[in-house]
Amino acid sequence: MTKRQGREKAGAFLVEGAQAVGEALAAHRTGSLRVRDVFSTGQQQHRPLLEHAADAAVPVHTVTERAAAGLSETITPQGLVAVCDLPGASVHAALAAQPRLVAVLVGIADPGNAGTVVRVADAAGADAVLFAGDTVDAFNGKAVRASTGSLFHLPVARDRDVPAVLGACRAVGLRLVGADGNAAADLDEADRSGALSLPTAWVFGSEAHGLADPVLAELDTALRVPIHGRAESLNLATAAAVCLYASARAQRA
């Protein structure tokens, strides 16, 4: 389950560490996710979580440090791993609750960046995160760890058909706005005009190349984050945080 093919075959993914396992168990209790099993090396600090798992009828297995390391993808395993059902939510299901703010990731290669954007979207109060095209798997171990539990707080769905994902966003009334460092208009101008208060799907492209021209052609507009200092650019997660929070602030004003 440390590879996408294995996750898809098993219909499950791994969650590692106390924070993430705790969030997974909370989702299990609400019925939004099923935790199949919890594996622990029996460390004292994990006892409350293991009791919560047992109370929720989740099987708890005590394993050796070596066995726990075999389930871990980190250099220093934390001795606590949960096996969770792989969510099967569709893009349409993720957008079913009249969303006002959505993040769409297109062609993101780095799982750490992808997981961090999920965390940022959760913090900004976004309604969903959509993975489109050849974007890395949201349930990759590094992406799960980078989300620090936010993966369990809001709908996350993927579809390899980028136009279909963008069309689904448009169909529920979302304005498609791309984050593009070369855009003519900037975020401050859009904020002053009131455009950021509209229901929005922010579309973020790859770390190296941004959004491809065919994707940009599908959008309502593209905006750049103004650079007031001498920095060449912002990294993906930082740009996503600035854009999502700008929309969240405008929508709540």
pLDDT for 73 equals 76
Model confidence pLDDT, tens digit, residues 118-127: 999 999 999 9
Is the pLDDT at 77 greater than 80? The verdict is no
Model confidence pLDDT, tens digit, residues 176-195: 999 999 899 999 999 999 99
Higher pLDDT, 72 or 144: 144
Instruction: Name the strand (E) or helix (H) holding 10.
Output: helix 4-10
> From CA 131, how far away is CA 123, in angstroms rounded?
18
pLDDT for 14 equals 92
Do residues 180 and 216 lie in contact, with contact meaning Cβ atoms separated by under 8 Å?
yes
Do residues 39 and 46 lie in contact, with contact meaning Cβ atoms separated by under 8 Å?
no
Name the token pair of 116. Answer: 């961090």
Model confidence pLDDT, tens digit, residues 224-244: 999 999 998 889 999 999 999
pLDDT for 1 equals 61
Higher pLDDT, 168 or 43: 168
Sheet holding 200-204, edge to edge: 156-159, 128-132, 101-106, 200-204, 175-179, 221-224, 185-186
pLDDT for 67 equals 86
Query: Predicted confidence band at 5 (pLDDT cuts at 50, 70, 90)?
Result: confident
- C-alpha distances (whole Å) from 175 to each of 6, 102, 218, 230 are 36, 10, 11, 31
